[in-house]
């Protein structure tokens, strides 16, 4: 037989919310919706009822909608207005009156920066899963470096999930 060397698992995960948390908002944009589906299924299994806010370019880009609906309420924005509200997730009406205990997000960096600003303004704990390019997975190549309050870190080793309080984004 052949030998296969594997280094796994790599990185970290989203934190598990407090049992008293009742309003968990999972915001995903583009390919960043995929980890939200997995997180939502896990949270549902643990007794939570997550709320999903998904963003895509068009209705054709919203994937696995029925799977999301198995795990919680789903709200959608599309840039062209072909499904859900027209615009970006950071403009969705759900955010106008929503009071949330925790926010989790993954997607394009500008979207996550908008979500982080929303969360900070309302003092809502928020975690982001960064989509930096990660080539090596062990921090050797330094292509995934992100500036944090603790200095520069490799997203592949120290992340990809970060509390927004640790990021030094100009929000």
For the chain, which domains are there? 24-129 (3.40.50.80), 132-171 (2.10.240.10)
pTM higher than 0.75: yes
CA distance 38 to 130: 16
pLDDT of 57 higher than 60: yes
Q: How far are the Cα atoms of 2, 13, 104, 119 from residue 163, in angstroms, in the given order? A: 41, 11, 9, 11
Strands 151-154 and 161-163 turn out to be unpaired
% pLDDT > 90, the chain: 82
CA distance 71 to 51: 8
pLDDT of 171 higher than 60: no
* Among 86-90, 121-125, 166-170, the least confident range: 166-170
pLDDT tens sequence across 96-137: 987 899 999 999 999 999 999 999 999 999 999 999 988 888
Q: What is the pLDDT of residue 162?
A: 97
Neighbours of 86 (CB within 10 A): 12
Q: What is the pLDDT of residue 48?
A: 94
């Amino acid at each position: 037989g052949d030998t296969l060397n594997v280094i796994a698992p790599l990185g970290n995960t989203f934190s598990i919310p407090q049992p008293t948390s009742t309003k968990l908002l999972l915001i995903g944009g583009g390919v960043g919706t995929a980890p939200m589906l997995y997180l939502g299924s896990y949270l549902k299994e643990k007794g939570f009822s997550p709320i999903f806010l998904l963003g895509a370019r068009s209705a054709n880009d919203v994937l696995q909608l029925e799977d999301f609906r198995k795990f919680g309420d789903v709200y959608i924005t599309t840039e062209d207005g072909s499904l859900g509200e027209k615009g970006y997730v950071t403009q969705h009406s759900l955010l106008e009156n929503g009071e949330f205990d925790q926010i989790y997000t993954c997607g394009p960096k500008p979207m996550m920066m908008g979500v982080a600003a929303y969360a900070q303004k309302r003092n809502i704990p928020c975690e982001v899963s960064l989509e930096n390019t990660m080539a090596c997975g062990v921090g050797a190549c330094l292509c995934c470096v992100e500036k944090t309050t603790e200095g520069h870190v490799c997203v592949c080793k120290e992340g990809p999930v970060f509390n927004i309080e640790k990021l030094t984004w100009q929000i």
